[in-house]
Amino acid sequence: MITALFILIFANLSFFEHVLNVYPLNTSNSGFLLSLAFLIYALLVIMFTLVSFKYTTKPTLILALILSASVHYFMQTYNIVMDKTMIENTLQTDIQESFDLLSIKLFITLFLLGVLPSIILYKIPLNYRGFKVELWSKFKIIMLHIALIAILLFTFSKFYASFFREHKTLRLYPNPITSIYNIVSYTYDQVQERNIPMKIIGQDAAIPKIEGQRKIVIMVVGEAARADHFSLNGYEKETNPLLKQEDIINFSQMYSCGTTTAVSVPCMFSIYNRSDYNSRKGYNTHNVLDILSHAGVDVLWRDNNSNSKGVAVRLNYQHYKSATLNPICESECRDEGMLVGLDKVVSETKKDIIIVLHQMGNHGPAYYQRYPKNFKRFTPVCKTNQLEECSKEEISNAYDNAILYTDYFLSKVINFLKQHEKNSHTAMIYMADHGESLGENGFYLHGLPYFMAPDHQKHVGALMWFSQAFPIDKNSLKNRSNNEYSHDNLFSTLLGIFNVQTNVYKKEMDMLQN
- Taking only the tens place, the pLDDT of each residue in 202-240 is 999 999 987 788 999 999 999 999 999 999 999 999 999
Alpha-helix runs per DSSP H in 306-391: 342-347
Phi-psi region of 296 (alpha: psi -120 to 50; beta: other; left: phi over 0): left
The C-alpha atoms of residue 342 and residue 348 are separated, in whole angstroms, by 10
pLDDT band at 128 (very low <50, low <70, confident <90, very high): confident
Task: Give yes or no for residue 14 having a pLDDT over 90.
Answer: yes
Class of domain 214-509 as given by CATH: alpha beta
Pairing verdict, β 462-466 and 248-250: antiparallel
Asked if 47 and 224 touch (Cβ cutoff 8 Å), the reply is no
Position 134 scores a pLDDT of 86
Residue 83 and residue 178 in contact, taking contact as beta carbons nearer than 8 Å: yes
Whether the Cβ atoms of residue 410 and residue 236 lie closer than 8 Å to each other: no
25: pLDDT confidence band, cut at 50, 70 and 90? very high
Does 362 score more than 80 pLDDT?
A: yes
CA 38 – CA 451 distance, rounded (Å)? 29
Q: In angstroms, rounded to a whole number, what is the distance separating the alpha carbons of residues 370 and 237?
A: 18
Average pLDDT, the chain: 95
Structural domain spans, the chain: 2-195, 214-509
Q: What is the mean pLDDT of residues 100-129?
A: 93
The residues near 486 (Cβ < 8 Å, ≥ 6 apart) are 254, 255, 256, 257, 274
pLDDT of residue 126: 84
The dihedrals phi and psi of 474, each to the nearest 5 degrees, come to -65, -35
For residue 353, the cross-strand partners are 216, 298
Residue 191's pLDDT is 85
C-alpha 271/C-alpha 490 separation (Å) is 9
Mean pLDDT value across residues 468-486: 96
pLDDT given at position 282: 93
Cis amide prior to 241 (ω within 30 degrees): no
pLDDT per position as a tens digit, 165-194: 888 899 999 999 999 999 999 998 888 877
Starting at the earlier edge strand, list the strands of the sheet with 248-250.
Answer: 248-250, 462-466, 424-432, 214-222, 353-358, 298-303, 316-319
% of the chain at pLDDT higher than 70: 100
CA distances from 202 to 287, 408, 427 (A): 9, 36, 23
3-class SS letters over 178-223: HHHHHHHHHHHHHHHHHHCCCECCCCCCECCCCCCCEEEEEEEEEC
pLDDT at residue 55, as a whole number: 86
Distance, CA of 268 to CA of 468 (rounded, Å): 27
The answer to whether 256 touches 486, Cβ cutoff 8 Å, is: yes
* Most distant CA pair in the chain, distance: 84
User: 102 or 510: whose pLDDT is higher?
Assistant: 510
Question: What is the spatial distance between Cα 265 and Cα 491, in angstroms, rounded to a whole number?
Answer: 12
From the list 410, 458, 433, 284, the residue with the least C-alpha distance to 362 is 433
Residue 276's pLDDT is 96
Cβ atoms of residues 301 and 309 within 8 Å:
no
Answer yes or no: are the C-beta atoms of 483 and 252 closer than 8 Å: no
Q: What are phi and psi of 90, to 5 degrees?
A: -65, -45
